[in-house]
Structure 1
């Protein structure tokens, strides 16, 4: 493998170099499964980078002599990256350069993209998906820090383990699909990573083991029972039972303070009780932040996944569609929520569990904001109102105050404090709360500030203190107020 690594490195087969060569139009076209724009951008050049782009990304068969200038052909054949057919070489798997904002640089191995320039054919059951919006979204969700042990549950092509290896002393990667384990193994080998691989379902391969961080983008698609299932996206559980199982059993595999992060979806049975239903999944002694990022009706959801499976336009499309609708009707599923489930094994007697819908733009990576939420919950645990009112706080970095009102009016109609980092939350305040938040600079405590504000507004200080205390607590938990350095 060393000769292949050296060749990829010498060719500068990196994300930046590929993007520079194919251009933004080429990348957008590849996202639509079209190679024409990239093919034209690469042109007639035959340097090693152009060869690798054509071989792996555009999936073009090439002359042996040309490939030999970019890759050690025999080593690549032995490794299972390419096949030789007479005088031509074709890629057997996808080797894709990857980079992220945290400085991670890697090559990711997966199955070839289905349906380039043609309608995608139905996928094989053991198909291994490569880089996808879901997998890269999970990398952005990871909480920062250094960890002794981390688990990539359902590793697929291995992208999460590549990130975990940058922050954990020991990484375990599991998958039910033997082919996924094999291709992830190539990903790890190409990138010189030591990752323990286990074959098996969910927590079975790590029975009795505990971790500081568990991340998973599991096969969460809620499809009807079928003899043919795509392993990377569909399990054998009913509805959202697989995601439920992962969350409900996580405490048995988390060290004290350990965190589980799930990118998944869940069934909406009763729109008025959806948050309560998810709350019931959280194990005792665990804090949780569950954020719904999107909600789809059954038709949208089913069409997305039938198209993903390459069935759009096929004779199976309508029958499978109707079967799926009947399945949802039978289970009482009216909508599907999609988002993030974050759980920390705090050991708290009275855990903090927040379930909310937040479909708005967030700062990426969002992992630090998730960690800050857990830290704020821990900071305030055991502190009553006095603990908030008598501490020293500062308005958090990236929080701005906005006012909205009629032109010429003495007072604004709305006062909003808005975050421009993290989850980018916003809270609408009244004059009193706005004045207190704005005056938090670490010098005075909220109790002292409220006293001054009450005098200015000719209000009762005790009543105003009682009214604002829970709002200030929420402002701390939601990241609008930060602990002053003196605390």
Structure 2
């Protein structure tokens, strides 16, 4: 993995035009390679794509796939038919080796959650992410999978974590956005679609150069690029949106810059979250991916809740948990250590377990953290576990979550009963019980959109939700249900607001305006 000088972005527009003309886009790759080979590329498995390009001969798209995705040398004449080779050689995108050329960087077509945005050249959201060779994603063979110790300044491209963060980022037009720890610039690229001004930072200066290339080759506006750790490069500046896919891996030491934060345990994630509040404008959002320790004798909910800065609402979702052995093995494979000398592999494995034992860490959680600066006297802090499938992109779902928190904060139980609600789109009811039984054991409401939640409700809750079409107040619906089930309406009104509040908070019910205005 080269850490030599990087290409110049001076003629990126000309290169971009050639790539697009050849169909070197996400859709073009899918058409050429087919779905299985295309999916394999996302796992850094290149053999299916190589087989798929053999039948395409010297067609420009096949040539570009071999050059930039498979890192193969191609005949000069074939490259000349696909690219302005003179410019690509002069600017350092390609190197000539006799009668062949090869790529110096990985260039990967990308279409993200807002890829229908116009890139300014009539090509919509056809973007390109530039990274070190062989580092488009964390591969099945690991970053060091070719038998080489990975350089500490290596810059990765598109991976599952980065696309997850892009998918949950709120889709709001903002004046200013900060991509902290930008890497190859994917989050900055997304932010450039809806922010007037984008700042990208990284402790690795090479990462900022890759970000510059990613933005230029994607036809996106330039960003302010600053070198440094955490919020140090931006001083006291504040932003409407802060995003970060930080080096959150909990590891012994800071061996790999792209993943290891260099602080003890989960201190980097804690520091990032705690300091974010002071850099948010009122109403601004900060969104991060992170790892946190599950420590013996401590509730992990309390641990991450304590990170939330004063004046901020928060929504923290744990998506996965691994015991310390699984976690160590994952990141040892990521670095390619499983290909190293067995004794060296064992030594590094022991170092991870020693670190966890010293900190009384039993497992490690992974998830999303979203902050919103509200300066509310009673902030809303929701910490939950949801390991099940969700529907990406989730940015709109994140916005709706905080809007519902605002609504619930403004309404006590009495005003909740005066409110009007609508059953969310694509919520279905499931009845669970013994076959043939007269009544179900319990009723489940299930969402088919967004977070795809499921929750148990009693028959009153199910009946209430089913009637919510925005035409009657909650109190009037409960009075009608009380008459049907022959229950005291006062008692029903008294015990039901908690259930209504839960259904609103989880997005099963949506508050609506009074039908008569």
- 2:122 alignment partner in structure 1: none
Which piece of structure 1 moves more, 109-118 or 408-417?
109-118
After TM superposition, the structure 1 = structure 2 runs for residues 350-361 of structure 1, keeping only pairs within 5 Å, are 350-361=378-389
Note the C-alpha offset of 1:265. Answer: 1.0
In structure 2, runs of 5+ residues without a counterpart are 1-10, 117-124
Equivalent position to 1:210, from 224, 238, 246? 238
Which piece of structure 1 moves more, 235-244 or 263-272?
263-272
Q: 8 Å contact 1:35–1:116 — kept in the other structure?
A: no
- 2:434 alignment partner in structure 1: 406
- 1:295 alignment partner in structure 2: 321
- 1:416 alignment partner in structure 2: 444
Residues 339-393 of structure 1: CA deviation (Å, up to 9, x unaligned): 1011110111110111111001111111211111101011222321112111111
Give the distance between the partners of 1:436 and 1:57, measured in 2 at CA: 54
Q: How has the CA–CA distance of structure 1 residues 116 and 225 changed in structure 2, closer, same or farther, with 3 Å as cutoff?
A: closer
Q: 8 Å contact 2:110–2:126 — kept in the other structure?
A: yes
Note the C-alpha offset of 1:120. Answer: 5.2
Note the C-alpha offset of 1:435. Answer: 1.6
After TM superposition, the structure 1 = structure 2 runs for residues 376-415 of structure 1, keeping only pairs within 5 Å, are 376-415=404-443
1:289 aligns to what SS in structure 2?
strand
Q: Does 2:123 align with 1:74?
A: no
Give the distance between the partners of 1:484 and 1:182, measured in 2 at CA: 48
Give the distance between the partners of 2:161 and 2:297, measured in 1 at CA: 25
2:339 aligns to what SS in structure 1?
coil
- 1:475 alignment partner in structure 2: 503
Which piece of structure 1 moves more, 367-376 or 107-116?
107-116
Note the C-alpha offset of 1:3. Answer: 2.4
Give the distance between the partners of 2:147 and 2:488, measured in 1 at CA: 69
Q: 8 Å contact 2:15–2:88 — kept in the other structure?
A: yes
- 2:293 alignment partner in structure 1: 267
- 1:367 alignment partner in structure 2: 395
Residues 57-109 of structure 1: CA deviation (Å, up to 9, x unaligned): 11111222221221222321233222122322111110111112432320110
Note the C-alpha offset of 1:197. Answer: 1.2
1:5 aligns to what SS in structure 2?
helix
1:442 aligns to what SS in structure 2?
strand
TM-score w.r.t. the length of structure 1 is: 0.96
How many residues were matched structurally? Answer: 485
Give the distance between the partners of 1:120 and 1:456, measured in 2 at CA: 72
- 1:310 alignment partner in structure 2: 336
Q: Does 2:211 align with 1:192?
A: no
Note the C-alpha offset of 1:116. Answer: 9.5
Q: 8 Å contact 2:253–2:260 — kept in the other structure?
A: no
Which piece of structure 1 moves more, 99-108 or 294-303?
99-108
Give the distance between the partners of 1:436 and 1:465, measured in 2 at CA: 12
Q: Does 2:130 align with 1:109?
A: yes
Q: How has the CA–CA distance of structure 1 residues 444 and 29 changed in structure 2, closer, same or farther, with 3 Å as cutoff?
A: closer
Give the distance between the partners of 1:271 and 1:304, measured in 2 at CA: 25
Equivalent position to 1:164, from 191, 195, 202? 191
1:436 aligns to what SS in structure 2?
helix
Give the distance between the partners of 2:160 and 2:340, measured in 1 at CA: 25
Equivalent position to 1:242, from 268, 277, 286? 268
Give the distance between the partners of 2:106 and 2:248, measured in 1 at CA: 24
Give the distance between the partners of 2:494 and 2:260, measured in 1 at CA: 50
2:397 aligns to what SS in structure 1?
helix
Q: Does 2:74 align with 1:53?
A: no
TM-score w.r.t. the length of structure 2 is: 0.90
